[in-house]
Structure formats: C-alpha cells, structure tokens
Amino acid sequence: MARLYTPDTEPGQGPEGDGEPGASDDEQAPKPRWRDRAGRWRRGWWPAGLALALALLMTLHSRVPNDIGNLGSLLQTFLPWVGLAIPLLALCAVLRRSATAVIALLVPTLVWLNLFGGLVVDKTSGGGSLMVVSHNVDADNPDPAGTARDLIDADADLLALQELPMDSAATYEEALAEAYPYHVTQGTVGLWSRYPLGEAQPVDIGMGWVRAMRTQVEAEGVGDVAVYVAHMPSVRVQFRAGFTAGQRDDAADLLGQAIAAEEVPRAVLLGDLNGTMNDGALAPLTSELRSTQGAAGAGFGFSWPAGFPMARIDQILVRDLEPVSSWTLPATTSDHLPVAARLDP
C-alpha cells in the first residue's frame, strides 16, 4: 500500500516526527554528558568495579599465594607498575562521563600513594662517612676493563661485584688495584676496599658453588662493619612453571640465618638479590636489615634491566647504619645498573 505524506510528516520520519531524515536508532541515541546529573552516576559501573578490585589487589598483595607459580612474588616484584592501570581506568571514566568511576578511582590512587608515595619523595641529605657501591658486572660483559674504570669514577669506599666470571676476574683485579689496595673474592663475588679487610668466608646459600661471602672492614669514621656480598639465584617467568623463584627463596632463608647470627652490630649487605623489597619471600633479609633506597633514596631506583629498568633487584641493605643518600649510577656495559649509597654510623 502506498504511504501518504502530509505537510506535517517529512520523509525519514514516522507519524510522530521523532527522527532526522534517514537517521538510524544508533545515531539518535543520546551521548553521555557531564551535565546529565542522573546519568553520570548511573554510568561507568564496570570501570568503577575494576578500580575497587585494583585497590584490593594492591592492598592485599602480600596475601596473594605462591602455591601456584609463585604468583605472589611475581606480583610483588612489579607491584609499582600495577599503578599504570589507574590512568587507563581514568580515561575510561572520562569517556563514559562517569562520576561514579571517577570517585572509585580515588581508592586505588590513595592505596598506591600509601605504598609508594614515600619512594617518590626525595629523602637524600648531605654527608655520609662511608660510600658503598654494588654492581652485577654480567658474566657476558663485553668490556670488563671499561666497567672497572666507570666504577672507579664513582669514588666509593667499598665496591662489591657480583657475577665475576673466572676468565675476567683478573681483568677486574688489575684495573681496580690502584684505586683499591684491598680486595677479597669468593667464587663469583668480590669486595674491593680502601680500608683493610678481614678474612673472607663463603656463606652457604644452597647453590653448590660460592655466590655469597662475608668479611669485615674497619672503616674510617664508622668503625667495624660486617660486609656481606651476595648474588642470589636467578628467577625466570616460564609458561608452565610460572615465576621460578623457589631456589632464590631458599637462598634468602639461608642468608637471613647467617645475618641474624652476625655478632658485629653494624652490617651491610651488597648484592644482586634477584628480588625487590616488596617481595615477601625476602622477609628473612628485610626482617634483619633495611633498604637504603627506601630510607634515603629519591625515586624507585630501578636497576634492571639497564636498558629500561623495571625493578630494583640490586640492593644495599644495612643494620645499625644510617643511610643519608641512595641512588643508581650511570650504565656500564653490564645488563644491570650499579647502585650506591652513603652511610653514617
């Protein structure tokens, strides 16, 4: 049947005249607007829910179990980066014009600031009677002599090296000899010093070969300090096995027991721990020592990988010493950045 049009009915409109000529239903749907007071509270429930779930995850990160693939340790290793979800959810909230989602985003933002806001603040101060540097020099370092020269320029009192390969150890010893008249090595770790060192002893961390040692130094202006140098077992993320941190966790237990039994009150641990201070698996160490980066750093101090640092796995931890500054040094030809700190008694 032919359709009749009256002067009040234009083509593309129904009898009620509620559409534009040729407009589809989607084109006629109202777009979200901030001035729609009722709508901006009804919209955006899914980004609001994700924001609250994110806050819960960060708050309860220590409760995430390691039973399946060490997921708890994996989360804690990269925990600061979880905060990147906040601006993404904020963008979703703005696009949805959702006041509900914007308010909900305040919760994970406050949780993140509570966890990491103290690291963002610059806590460095002047002074420091003892400067220490720790560096994983990388067994495949293409220029060990150049790395040694870079480390000399840092002008540290104590220099701890990890992952010293047998075929390059002599290169480091020769290059560092003039700047550091005292040095001791055990296995693949070593310590170079401007002050006399006591006898070095290996520390068993369950590896089957020496990757941790203990010695003692009488530092000018500080006194006797027990110095531990360690390279903890490596961790990997594998499809089937997950975060393979079990051997590192066992090593942390053994090293923590050695430090707990240390009779010298002042102690410092320098090394590649293959873990961050957020990782609860390193509690045997963090219960005995405190991080210089957390106490006197400026920023997160990420040290690995050198090309784009994403985690601080190279640590300087102390007991009965006061950190006054902590920072990372410029890159060498290693895949790690050196880390440094100044300490007072």
pLDDT in tens, 47-63: 999 999 999 999 999 99
Q: Can you say whether residue 329 is alpha, beta or left, with left for phi > 0 and alpha for psi between -120 and 50 degrees?
A: beta
Q: What is the pLDDT of residue 243?
A: 87
Pair 277, 286: CB distance under 8 Å: yes
Number of Cβ within a 10 Å radius of residue 63: 9
How big is the CA angle at 117 (ends 116 and 119), to the nearest 5 degrees?
Answer: 70
Structure tokens at 27: 């084109």
Over range 316-342, report the average pLDDT.
98
pLDDT in tens, 59-107: 999 999 988 888 999 999 999 999 999 999 999 999 988 989 999 999 9
Asked whether the predicted pLDDT for residue 191 surpasses 50, the reply is yes
Sheet strand arrangement including 290-291: 201-202, 212-219, 223-231, 267-272, 314-319, 290-291
pTM: 0.86
Q: What is the pLDDT of residue 83?
A: 96
Pair 271, 134: CB distance under 8 Å: yes
Q: What is the pLDDT of residue 38?
A: 53
Whether residue 15 has a cis bond before it, omega within 30° of 0: no
Q: What is the pLDDT of residue 185?
A: 96
Alpha-carbon radius of gyration of the chain: 29
Asked whether the predicted pLDDT for residue 215 surpasses 60, the reply is yes
Residues of 77-96 as b/e, b for ≥16 C-beta within 10 angstroms?
bebbebbebbeebbebbeeb
Confidence of residue 170 (pLDDT cuts 50, 70, 90): very high
Dist CA 106 CA 54 (whole Å): 11
More confident residue, 337 or 41: 337
Q: What is the pLDDT of residue 40?
A: 60
Asked whether the predicted pLDDT for residue 41 surpasses 90, the reply is no
**With respect to CATH, is domain 130-344 assigned 3.40.50.300?**
no
Phi/psi at 236 (5° precision): -140, 155
Asked whether the predicted pLDDT for residue 35 surpasses 80, the reply is no
User: What residue segments make up the domains of the chain, in order of their start?
Assistant: 31-120, 130-344
Closest by alpha carbon to 162, among 344, 284, 334? 334
Asked whether the predicted pLDDT for residue 120 surpasses 80, the reply is yes
Q: Can you say whether residue 315 is alpha, beta or left, with left for phi > 0 and alpha for psi between -120 and 50 degrees?
A: beta
Over range 39-53, report the average pLDDT.
84
Amino acid type, 242:
G
Name the DSSP class of 3. Answer: P
Confidence of residue 36 (pLDDT cuts 50, 70, 90): low
Bridging pattern class, strands 223-231 and 267-272? parallel
**Average pLDDT for the chain:** 90
Structure tokens at 89: 């959810």
Closest by alpha carbon to 159, among 227, 256, 251, 205? 227
pLDDT in tens, 244-297: 899 999 999 999 999 999 999 999 999 999 999 999 999 999 999 999 999 999
Confidence of residue 236 (pLDDT cuts 50, 70, 90): confident
Pair 151, 192: CB distance under 8 Å: no
Residues of 203-225 as b/e, b for ≥16 C-beta within 10 angstroms?
bebebeebbbbbbbbebeebeeb
Q: What is the pLDDT of residue 183?
A: 97
Lowest mean pLDDT among 110-114, 165-169, 241-245: 241-245
Q: What is the pLDDT of residue 1?
A: 45
Share of the chain above pLDDT 90, in %: 79
CA–chain centroid gap for 6, Å, is: 73
More confident residue, 260 or 20: 260
Asked whether the predicted pLDDT for residue 24 surpasses 70, the reply is no
